[in-house]
């Protein structure tokens, strides 16, 4: 288990501020956030490559602040793979074991095994400069695993890979995580990877930990508008809580009332966030619906997303973005200027109390 307790760290222009994290043994943990948010620095801090200014890093309960990286059994794979350019593939993979002074035949055996496992046996005598990105990534991961780490740190491992290679490496990583019971901490700014691979995650923005928890909970219940925006909630609006029942709140936005499932108390400034995919569009009246929110809205733009989906921008007194299948957009002949009814269930609207009032 890795624990960050109130870790602060300054590196030139950049700073991590009071970051606390809990990564459990066996987690596939993602550190997510926009580029330049400090995610790589967190990995380096776990590996012991930076001294914190304040706070501490605990691994399996003991303070590691003074333990040098080579004694931690934590392997790090950088986004640029960082293979040793003056060593052939097999020397790269065997490097860690050589440093640990393991017997020669044990090193050879383990290197062979990893070369087989990653399907790169034919590359064993090649120099890294002659390998493709995907091949380099496999060598880098094999090298990281060779020294038998307890924790594997991956910095944007798919950033420079083509989609096919990317799928293969994702499959490799998921298999390694399953078979070797390894704790993996992966950094990314791409949302799709998280939902597929991670069980827990932390959102880091500008050196601050915004939210941490199981992936589902972070993605369904963002605690701030910054997280809501990052996890892809297209609709983020601010308003004031009006009168409501004990479990349904009515939020006033631009003179309209939006009903949401929330226990927030009246009078508070809040933001609401919901996904475009959770907005349904109806043409014409008379359709009974269980959705609590039904707004008459004018379409301002119809934007095909290039795939099976189309984004529809609406004005209902406040802006709404909806996501429909391109097929529906065609069937309903959605076009700018057209009036439609936008329906949103109260249960999909996330109410976020504003940061200043928290």
Partner 1 sequence: MAQIPVLRDRCLISFSLLGGLILALTVLALMNMTVRELSDIPHLLRVAADSKVIDSIILTMAAGANAIVILMILGIPLAYVLARTDFRGKRIVETIVDIPLMLPHTVAGILVYILFMKRGLIGGPLYDIGFSFEDAYPGIVVAMLFVSSPYFINSAREGFEKVPVHLENVARTLGASRFSAFLHVVLPLSARYIYNGAIFSWGRAIGEFAAIIMIAYYPMVISTLLYYRFTTGGLKESSTIAFIMIIACFSVFLVLRYLSHFIGRHDDRV
CA–CA separation, 298 and 2 (whole Å): 51
Q: Judged by CB under 8 A, does residue 128 bind partner 1?
A: yes
Cβ(302)–Cβ(251) below 8 Å: no
Stretch in the footprint of partner 1 (CB under 8 A) among 47-55, 163-171, 196-204, 311-319: 47-55
Q: Contacts from 161-165 at CB under 8 Å and sequence distance 24+?
A: 161/133, 161/134, 161/137, 162/133, 162/134, 165/132, 165/133, 165/134, 165/137
Q: Give whichever of 29 and 295 is closer to partner 1, judged by the CB atom.
A: 29
Q: Give whichever of 109 and 196 is closer to partner 1, judged by the CB atom.
A: 109
Buried b / exposed e along 26-56 (16+ C-beta atoms within 10 A): ebbbbbbbeeebbbbbbbbbbbbebebeebe
Footprint on residues 200-229 left by partner 1 (CB under 8 A)? none
Q: How far is CA 146 from CA 73, 96, 124, 230, in A?
A: 11, 7, 14, 35
Interface residue with partner 1, options 20, 60, 100, 300 (CB under 8 A): 100
Cβ(21)–Cβ(187) below 8 Å: no
Q: How far is the CB of 311 from partner 1 (least distance, A)?
A: 39
Reading the block at residue 130, the tokens are: 């002659």
Interface residue with partner 1, options 85, 267, 307, 337 (CB under 8 A): 85
Q: Judged by CB under 8 A, does residue 144 bind partner 1?
A: yes
Interface residue with partner 1, options 26, 34, 69, 213 (CB under 8 A): 69
Q: How far is the CB of 83 from partner 1 (least distance, A)?
A: 5
Alpha helices in the chain (DSSP H): 39-47, 89-99, 104-117, 133-146, 163-180, 191-197, 215-220, 225-230, 326-331
Interface residue with partner 1, options 8, 15, 17, 72 (CB under 8 A): 72
Stretch in the footprint of partner 1 (CB under 8 A) among 45-53, 194-202, 210-218, 283-291: 45-53
Instruction: Report DSSP state, residue 68.
Output: -
CA–CA separation, 243 and 10 (whole Å): 46
Interface residue with partner 1, options 17, 78, 253, 268 (CB under 8 A): 78
Q: Judged by CB under 8 A, does residue 44 bind partner 1?
A: yes
Cβ(332)–Cβ(283) below 8 Å: yes
Q: How far is CA 265 from CA 239, 241, 262, 292, 353, in A?
A: 13, 7, 9, 19, 10
Q: Give whichever of 103 and 129 is closer to partner 1, judged by the CB atom.
A: 129
Stretch in the footprint of partner 1 (CB under 8 A) among 41-49, 168-176, 232-240, 308-316: 41-49
Q: Judged by CB under 8 A, does residue 86 bind partner 1?
A: yes
Cβ(158)–Cβ(136) below 8 Å: no
Q: How far is the CB of 55 from partner 1 (least distance, A)?
A: 21
For partner 1 (CB under 8 A), the number of binding residues is: 37
Q: How far is the CB of 73 from partner 1 (least distance, A)?
A: 8
Q: Judged by CB under 8 A, does residue 184 bind partner 1?
A: no
Q: Which residues bind partner 1 (CB under 8 A)?
A: 44, 47-49, 68-70, 72, 74-78, 80-86, 95-97, 99-100, 127-131, 136, 143-144, 146-147, 149, 153
């Amino acid at each position: 288990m890795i624990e960050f307790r109130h870790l602060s760290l300054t590196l030139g222009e950049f700073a991590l501020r009071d970051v606390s994290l809990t990564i459990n043994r066996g987690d596939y943990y993602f550190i997510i956030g926009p580029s330049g948010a400090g995610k790589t620095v967190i990995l380096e801090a776990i590996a012991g490559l930076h001294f914190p200014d304040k706070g501490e890093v605990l691994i399996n309960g003991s303070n590691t602040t003074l333990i040098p990286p080579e004694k931690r059994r934590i392997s790090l794979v950088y986004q640029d793979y960082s293979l040793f350019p003056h060593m052939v593939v097999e020397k790269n993979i065997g490097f860690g074991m050589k440093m640990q002074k393991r017997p020669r035949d044990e090193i050879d055996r383990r290197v062979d095994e990893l070369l087989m496992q990653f399907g790169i046996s034919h590359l064993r005598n090649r120099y890294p400069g002659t390998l493709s990105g995907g091949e380099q990534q496999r060598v880098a991961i094999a090298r990281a695993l060779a020294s038998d780490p307890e924790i594997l740190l991956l910095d944007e491992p798919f950033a420079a890979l083509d989609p096919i290679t990317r799928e293969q490496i994702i499959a490799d990583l998921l298999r390694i995580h399953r078979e070797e019971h390894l704790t993996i901490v992966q950094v990314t700014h791409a949302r799709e990877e998280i939902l597929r691979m991670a069980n827990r995650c932390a959102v880091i923005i500008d050196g601050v930990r915004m939210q941490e928890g199981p992936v589902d909970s972070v993605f369904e219940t963002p605690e701030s508008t910054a997280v809501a925006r990052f996890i892809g909630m297209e609709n983020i609006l601010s308003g004031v809580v009006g009168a409501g029942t004990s479990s349904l709140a009515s939020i006033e936005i631009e003179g309209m009332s939006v009903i949401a499932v929330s226990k927030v108390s009246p009078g508070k400034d809040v933001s609401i966030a919901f996904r475009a995919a959770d907005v349904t569009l109806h043409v014409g009246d008379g359709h009974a619906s269980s959705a609590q929110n039904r707004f008459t809205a004018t379409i301002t733009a119809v934007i095909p997303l290039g795939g099976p989906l189309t984004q529809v921008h609406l004005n209902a007194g406040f802006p709404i973005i909806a996501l429909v299948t391109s097929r529906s957009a065609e069937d309903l002949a959605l076009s700018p200027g057209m009036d439609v009814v936008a329906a949103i269930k109260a249960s999909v609207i996330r109410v976020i109390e504003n940061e200043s009032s928290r």
